[in-house]
Amino acid sequence: MSSDTLDKLVVFLAKRDGIDKLVKTFQYVSKLACWHVEATRPEAAEKFKKWEVASGLSRKAFRTGRSLTGFNALRRNPGATPVIRFLAVLANSGEMVYFFFDHFLWLSRIGTLDPKIAKKMSFISAFGESFGYVFFIIIDCIFIRQRLGSLKRLKTNDEPKEETSGKISEIQGDIVMRLMGISANVADLIIALAEIQPNPFCNHTVTLGISGLVSAWAGWYRNWPS
């Protein structure tokens, strides 16, 4: 029996990343809603702000232990070539720093640890996040270039179309997935830069809101059951 939309939604929400992207959507929709009504309806803006903060803290709690993911990825499948392995070490190391110090940021914001360390933990976490995302973006760009080369070769060879159509579809699907990954990582990089080096563009509510939603929805696409 084929899966319908409800079946796929249940599978999606059963994944850790699925829940994270759903709550991230709540977080950044409420951020934009707060910005939209803060001048005209301050009471509603305050409620949206509480929703945003609660969603952000929930995501941090739910990501407990995620720092082990990068370590396990390097341990199990660091990459096929020396260049990819080197880039994977840099990318996953940055992500491990991000998730590890995010634990302390969460604990300081809920009052378990000294709230005064929140700013420092946020900076370290954001720095690791941005560092890792730069190299994840480079890795995806390298793979997209390789896939485009493979696609060109398949389209110009003399093999029957019936034999190559499946390979072409698979490569095209991988390219789309990697483009979604780049979109999410660029969006998250902008959010991280807003914490590392505050500036009018990155720290604007609309920039943060749109970046958060791009990241969330790219994650929806990548994690949605096929």
Residues 6+ apart with CB under 8 A from 10: none
Domain residues for 130? 5-223
HSE (CB half, 13 Å, CA atoms) of 120? 6
- The total number of structural domains in the chain stands at 1
Q: Give the model's pLDDT for residue 1.
A: 46
Q: Give the model's pLDDT for residue 223.
A: 87
Gyration radius (Cα) of the chain, Å = 20
Q: Give the model's pLDDT for residue 135.
A: 97
Q: What share of the chain is helix, strand, coil (3-state, %, to 5)?
A: 85, 0, 15
| Per-residue model confidence as pLDDT tens digits over 158-168 | 777 777 888 88
Distances in Å between the alpha carbon of 181 and those of 83, 145, 147?
A: 19, 15, 15
Q: Rounded to an integer, what distance in angstroms lies between the CA atom of residue 83 and that of residue 86? A: 5
Residues (pLDDT < 50) of the chain are: 1
Buried b (16+ CB within 10 A) or exposed e, 43-59: eebeebbebbeebbbbb
Q: Rounded to an integer, what distance in angstroms lies between the CA atom of residue 81 and that of residue 90? A: 14
